[in-house]
Structure 1
Amino acid sequence: MKKLMILVLAVFVIACSDNRKKEFSLIDHIPEDTELFFTSQDIKSFIPEIENNDFIKSSEFPLKDRISYQFNFFKYLNLNHATGISFSNLSSKTFTYTISTRKDSALVQLDSVQNKAMETIKEGNTSFQKLELNNTMFFLLEKANIAVISNSRQKILDIARNEKLLKDSSFERAYNASDPNKASVFIRHGAIDKISDFFGKFHFPGFESFAEWTVLDLELTNSEIKANGLSLTNNSEKFLQAFSGINPRNIESVRVCPEDFLSMYALSYSSFKKLHSNLQKIEKDSSRNNYPGVLDETREIAYIRLKEGNATILNAVEIEAAKEELAGMGNPLETYRGSPIVELSDSPDFQQTFSSLMNMEKNKFYTIIDHFIIFSNETDVLKKILTDFQNSDTISGRSYFNQLMASLSSESSMIFISRLPEFINFTKEGDESHKMKFQENSLAALQIINEGDFAHIHGVFSNSRNTSTTSKGAEQIASFKLDNPVVTDPVFFKNHRTDQMDIAVQDDNNRLYLISNKGNIFWKEQLDSQITSPIYQVDLFRNGNQQLAFSTGYNMEVLDRDGNKVKGFPIKFNSSLTQPLSVFDYDKNRNYRFVLTQNDRIYMVGPKGKAIRGFDFDGTRTGIIKAPKHIRLGTRDYILIAEESGKLNILSRQGNIRVPVTENIEFSENEWYGHNGKFVSTAPKNVLIEISQQGQVSKENLQLAENNRIVANDDHLVYLNENQLSIDGKKLELDFGLYTDPQIFEITNKTLIALTDTQTQKVYVFDENAKLLDGFPVYGNSRVDIANADLDSRLELVVKGEDDEILLYKL
Structure 2
Amino acid sequence: MKRFILVLLIVTISSCSKKTELDFQIQDHIPENSEVFLLSPDLEKFLREVRGNKFLSQSKFALKKNITEQLEHLSILNLKNETGISFSNLSTETPIYTIITIRDSSLIPLDSARNKSIETFKEGNLKYKRVNLNENKFFLLETGNTVIISNSRQNILNSGNQEKLLNSPTFNKAWNASDRNKTSIFLNHALIETKLSDIFQPLKFPGIKSFAEWSVLDIDISESNIKLNGISLNSNDDNILNRFRKIDPQQSEIGKICPGDFISFYSVGFSDFDMLYKNARNSKLDSIPSDYPGILKHARESASIVLTNGNILALNINEMESAKETLAGLGIVSEDFRGSDIIELNEDINFQKFFPGLMTLEIAKFYTVLENFVIYSSNPEALKSMITAFQNSDTLNNKQYFTDLMTSLSSETSMLFVVNSSDFAKKLDNEESTHEFKFNKNSLAALQVINEVDYAHLHVVLSNSEKVAQSNGAEQSSSIKIDSPISKAPVFFKNHRTDQMDIAVQDENNELYLISNKGNVFWKKSMDSQITSPIYQVDLFKNGNQQMAFSTGYHMEVLDRTGKKVKGYPIKFNQPLTQPLSVFDYDNNRTYRFVLTQNKKVYMVGPKGNAIKGFSFENAGSEIIKTPKHIRLGTKDYILIAEEIGKLNILSRQGTIRVPVSEKIDFSENEWFGYQNSFVSTNPRQNLIKISQNGTVSSTDLGLAENNRIVANRNNLVYLNENELSINSKTIDLDFGLYTDPQLFTVRNRTLIAITDTQTQKVYVFNDKAELLEGFPVYGTSQVDIANADLDSKLELLVKGEDNEILLYEF
Under a length normalisation based on structure 2, what TM-score does the superposition of the two structures give? 0.55
**1:235 Cα offset (Å):** 2.1
Describe the superposition over 1:540-575 as per-residue Cα deviations: whole angstroms up to 9, x where unpaired: xxxxxxxxxxxxxxxxxxxxxxxxxxxxxxxxxxxx
Q: Deviations over 1:507-549 (max 9, x none)?
A: xxxxxxxxxxxxxxxxxxxxxxxxxxxxxxxxxxxxxxxxxxx
Match of 1:303 in 2: 304
Residue by residue over 1:403-429, the C-alpha shift from the partner in whole angstroms, topping out at 9 and shown as x without a partner, is: 112111011000110011221331355
Q: CA deviation at 1:57?
A: 1.8
1:372 corresponds in structure 2 to 373
- Is residue 439–residue 467 contact of structure 1 (8 Å, CA) maintained in 2? no
Letter in structure 1 aligned against 2:178: S
SS of residue paired to 1:346: strand
- Cross-structure match for 1:248: 249
Report the equivalent of 2:102. Answer: 102
Q: How does 1:733-752 map to 2 (within 5 A)?
A: none
Alignment check: 8 A CA contact 2:311 2:362 kept: no
Distance 1:145 1:189, change over 3 A: same
Secondary structure of the structure 2 residue equivalent to 1:73: helix
Asked if structure 2 preserves the Cα contact closer than 8 Å seen for 1:244 and 1:452, the reply is yes
Q: Do residues 184 (structure 1) and 184 (structure 2) align? A: yes
8 Å Cα contact 1:255-1:395 kept in structure 2: yes
- Which AA in structure 2 matches 1:353? F
Contact persistence 1:442–1:467 (CA under 8 A): no
Distance between the aligned counterparts of 1:214 and 1:378, measured in 2? 37
> 1:190, CA displacement in angstroms?
2.8
Q: Which amino acid aligns with 1:276?
A: Y
* Distance in 2 of aligned mates of 1:32 and 1:429: 38
Return the letter of the residue paired with 2:280: L
* Correspondences of 1:595-674 after superposition (within 5 Å): none
**Higher mean Cα deviation, 124-133 or 176-185?**
124-133
Offset from partner CA, 1:348-377 (integer Å, 9 cap, x none):
331100021011111211110001011111
Counterpart for residue 218 of structure 2: 217
**Taking structure 1 as reference, are residues 112 and 18 closer, same or farther at Cα in structure 2, changes over 3 Å only?**
closer
Other-structure match for 1:582: none
Separation in 1 of the partners of 2:395 and 2:346? Answer: 30
Q: CA deviation at 1:196?
A: 3.0
Alpha carbons 2:425, 2:439 under 8 Å: kept: no
Per the alignment, residue 571 of structure 1 pairs with: none
Task: Name 2:595's counterpart in structure 1.
Answer: none
Equivalent residue runs for 1:270-349 within 5 Å: 270-283=271-284, 285=286, 288-349=289-350
Distance 2:380 2:288 in 1: 33
Q: Distance in 2 between the 1:302 and 1:40 partners?
A: 36
Q: 1:197 Cα deviation (Å)?
A: 3.0
CA positional deviation for 1:432: 4.7
Return the offset for 1:283. Answer: 3.0
Cα distance in 1 between the residues matched to 2:141 and 2:301 = 53
Number of the residue aligned with 2:123: 123
Q: Displacement, 1:338?
A: 0.9
For residues 21 and 117 of structure 2, what CA distance do their matches in structure 1 show?
34
Q: Does structure 1 retain, via aligned residues, the 8 Å contact 2:429–2:436?
A: no
Which position in structure 1 is the counterpart of 2:455?
Answer: 454
1:156 is aligned with what amino acid? I
Q: How big is each residue's C-alpha offset from its partner over 1:445-500, in whole Å with a ceiling of 9 and x where there is no partner?
A: 00000001210000101111324999xxxxxxxxxxxxxxxxxxxxxxxxxxxxxx
Alpha carbons 2:400, 2:469 under 8 Å: kept: no
Is the Cα–Cα contact under 8 Å of residues 266 and 303 in structure 2 kept in the other structure? yes
Cα 1:469–1:352, aligned 2, differ >3 Å: closer, same or farther? same
Q: Secondary structure at the match of 1:345?
A: strand
Worse overlay, 161-170 or 282-291: 282-291
State the shift of 1:285 in Å: 5.0
1:206 and 1:226, CA in 2 relative to 1: closer, same or farther beyond 3 A? closer
Cα–Cα, structure 1 residues 287 and 94, in superposed 2: closer, same or farther, change >3 Å? closer
- Mapped contact 2:130–2:140 kept (Cα < 8 A): yes
Between the aligned partners of 1:286 and 1:438, the Cα distance in structure 2 is: 40
Equivalent residue, structure 2, for 1:62? 62
Shift in Å, 1:55: 2.2
The letter of the residue matching 2:41 is: Q
**2: CA distance, partners of 1:414 / 1:286:** 24
Alignment correspondent of 1:166: 166
Decide whether the 8 Å contact of 2:120 with 2:129 is kept in 1: yes
**Which residue does the alignment assign to 2:657?**
none
Report the Cα offset of residue 35 of structure 1. Answer: 0.1
User: For each residue in 1:228-283, what CA deviation from the matched residue of structure 2 results, as whole angstroms up to 9, or x when unmatched?
Assistant: 00000122332211111111011011110000100100100011111111111123
Distance 2:307 2:21 in 1: 56
Once the two structures are TM-superposed, the CA of residue 124 in structure 1 deviates from its matched residue by 1.3
Letter in 1 for 2:331: G
| 1:403 aligned residue | 404
- The structural deviation recorded for 1:216 is 0.5
Listed as ranges, the matches of 1:675-690 within 5 Å are none
Deviation, structure 1 residue 19: 3.6
Structure 2 residue identity aligned to 1:67: I
8 A contact 1:54–1:222 mirrored in 2:
yes
State the one-letter code of the partner of 2:26: L
* Counterpart secondary structure, 1:279: helix
Q: 1:384 is matched with which residue?
A: 385
Q: In the TM superposition, what is the alpha-carbon distance from 1:286 to its structure 2 partner?
A: 8.2
Once the two structures are aligned, what percentage of the paired residues are identical? 46
Conserved 8 A contact 1:233-1:454: yes
Whether the 8 Å contact between 1:329 and 1:347 is mirrored in structure 2 is no
Amino acid at match of 2:56: I
Using the TM superposition, give the Cα deviation of residue 347 of structure 1 relative to its aligned residue in structure 2, in angstroms: 2.6
Q: Distance in 1 between matches of 2:201 and 2:385?
A: 25
Equivalent-residue separation in structure 1 for 2:80 and 2:460 (angstroms):
29
Which residue matches 1:134? 134
The alignment covers a number of residue pairs equal to 461
C-alpha distance 20-69 of structure 1, shift in aligned 2 (>3 A): closer
TM-superposed CA distance for 1:149, in Å, is 0.5
Deviation, structure 1 residue 325? 1.4
Tell me the distance in 2 between the aligned counterparts of 1:16 and 1:133: 32
1:197 alignment partner AA: D
The 1-side partners of 2:96 and 2:399 are apart by: 43
* Alpha-carbon distance between aligned partners in 2 of 1:220 and 1:408, rounded to the nearest angstrom: 17
Task: Name the SS of the counterpart of 1:245 in structure 2.
Answer: coil
Flag structure 2 segments of 5+ consecutive residues without an equivalent. 1-11, 472-729, 731-768, 772-811
Q: Which residue of 2 aligns with 1:152?
A: 152
Residue correspondence of structure 1 range 524-563 to structure 2 within 5 A: none
Counterpart residue identity of residue 362, structure 1: I
Question: Which residue pairs with 2:71 in the alignment?
Answer: 71
Change (3 A) 1:435 1:287: closer
Which range is displaced more, 93-102 or 118-127?
Answer: 118-127
Q: Is the 8 A contact 1:50 1:220 kept in 2?
A: yes
CA shift for structure 1 position 337: 1.0
Q: In the alignment, what sits opposite 2:23?
A: 23
Q: Counterpart of 2:789?
A: none
Are the aligned partners of 2:129 and 2:140 in contact in 1 as well (CA < 8 Å)?
yes
Q: Which residue of structure 1 lines up, in the alignment, with residue 592 of structure 2?
A: none
Contact 2:288 2:353 in 1 (8 A): no
Letter in 1 for 2:43: I
Work out the CA distance in 2 between the residues paired with 1:207 and 1:289: 27
